Amino acid sequence: MEIDAIIQNQLAQNPTQSYPMTDTNILQYNCGNSNGDKAKPGFDSIDPSRFPILAIQEPMVTERNPGYTYTPRNYRTSRPVSLGMRVVFMIHDKVPLTAWKHVSATDYTELLQVSLNGTDLQIINIYSPPGPPSAPTIDKWEELEQVLRQTKPGNLLLIGDLNCHHPAWGGRRIDPEPRADHLIKRLERFQLTLLNQPGTATWGRGGRDSTIDLGFATPGLIPMVMKYKPHPE
């Protein structure tokens, strides 16, 4: 399922910029290791004028072709593709190379810095595997904490597939997991606030659904976030 994260740029649009934007629209999408034939039509239907930045989790990278994952036309990956990577950004080529910077990455986390129309934005993309519900932390907490410590003061958006459950995002019918409680408390130390609407499903299969794709933002960014919810298919 795709998630729209639309961030309104509150500064004046610069008409001389080669890719002027009043909104920074980010499409978050977990491919489930299948962005080949199954996901290709969806990828190719993306309007780059609306979504110049794609935050991808679980891209398909095979042993047969370890340096390749399908990328929509005129998009480039934020870093070289490699076997085992679970996150990557895809950025439309009309976004100037000087407007974004790959800061750091592991197979499961990536930090991107974007500067558009005078607004600086840091984006963390994360995939944390499911793991046992009784675990004290999400599977990739140590990697996430490390990349959080690399961020600078300012606008920060954290998005990804966290694979943990809590009523704060899953709704009142969901029992809180220890790892989700830990995530909330630790992210508060980095002044990150949840963007999800409680009970809005972000994953569905075979009649089942859940909320595992999450978004968090720092206080200065909250008023700019126009929408963080599933993208209509």
pLDDT in tens, 167-226: 999 999 999 999 999 999 999 999 999 999 888 888 666 667 778 899 999 998 888 776
Domain at 2-227, CATH class = alpha beta
Higher pLDDT, residue 124 or 49: 124
- Structure confidence at residue 175 (pLDDT): 94
pLDDT in tens, 9-24: 433 233 333 344 445 6
pLDDT at 84 over 90: yes
pLDDT in tens, 126-174: 999 999 999 999 999 999 999 999 999 999 999 999 999 999 999 999 9
Bridge partners (DSSP) of residue 112 are: 102, 123
- What pTM does this model have? 0.89
- Structure confidence at residue 232 (pLDDT): 57
DSSP letters, the chain, are -EEEEEEE--SPP-TTSSS--SEEEEEEEE-TT-TTTTTHHHHHT--TTT-SEEEEES----SSSTT-----TTEEESS---TT--EEEEEETTS-GGGEEEEEE-SSEEEEEEEETTEEEEEEEEE-----TT-SS-TTHHHHHHHHTT--SS-EEEEEE-----HHHH-TTSPPPHHHHHHHHHHHHTT-EE-SPTT---EEETTEEE--EEEEE-TTTGGGEEEEEEPP-
- Structure confidence at residue 13 (pLDDT): 32
- Domain ranges in the chain are 2-227
- Structure confidence at residue 19 (pLDDT): 40
pLDDT in tens, 49-72: 888 999 999 999 999 999 999 999
Question: What is the three-class DSSP state of 30?
Answer: strand
- Structure confidence at residue 43 (pLDDT): 85
- Structure confidence at residue 194 (pLDDT): 94
Tell me the average pLDDT of the chain.
85
